[in-house]
Amino acid sequence: VHVLNGPNLNLLGRREPAIYGTATLDDIRATLEQRCAERGVSLVFRQSNHEGDLVDWIHEAGRVHAEGRLAGLIFNAAAYTHTSVALLDAVKGTGVALLELHISNVFAREAFRHHSYLSPVARAVVCGLGVQGYALAVEAVAQW
Ligand code: CA2
């Protein structure tokens, strides 16, 4: 299972706890490491503030997919969800099974967060479950 996190998610647990909770990205990584170990799947967990890094990592997931070794890609593209044709094209171009994830319920927030470039190419979308969504997403993707 590959888990990618986009811009500003390195701030998780340090700012805006009312929206995003108090867990840090390292806390989430630790939880997912444990869940994956229990299921005998390996975890790749990354965060970047740079769109190109995320494109490169989607391509990497695509190579693992082509080798038949990728259960799925869990992707919280953060603000790039609402802006990035490059990330859409990367997912489309690799054919990876995508689970789009958002910590908050984006539909209960500003109108600009209601549109996602990724949802049309996602196999599933998890949104509004808080950071618990990551663990639930791993449970699902491990069975894909
Ligand atoms: O709800 C989500 O997971 C989002 O993908 C988070 C993005 C936001 O732009 C999306 O609309 C929804 C923002 C990530 C920034 O995370 C922060 C965490 C703590 C403090 C400040 C920002």
Residues 50-88 as b/e (b if ≥16 CB within 10 A, e otherwise) read ebeebbebbebbbebbeeeebbbbbbbbbebbbebeebb
> What residues line ligand 1, using a CB cutoff of 6 Å?
8-9, 11-12, 15-16, 20, 76, 78-79, 81, 102-104, 106, 113
**pTM for this prediction:** 0.97
For residue 17, count CB atoms less than 10 angstroms from its CB and return exposed for 0-12, middle for 13-18, buried for 19 or more.
exposed
pLDDT by residue for the chain (144 residues), tens only, comes to: 999 999 999 999 988 888 888 999 999 999 999 999 999 999 999 999 999 999 999 999 999 999 999 999 999 999 999 999 999 999 999 999 999 999 999 999 999 999 999 999 999 999 999 999 999 999 999 999
Determine the atom of ligand 1 nearest the C-alpha atom of 6: 14
Yes or no: say if 80 and 54 are a contact pair by the CB < 8 Å rule. Answer: yes
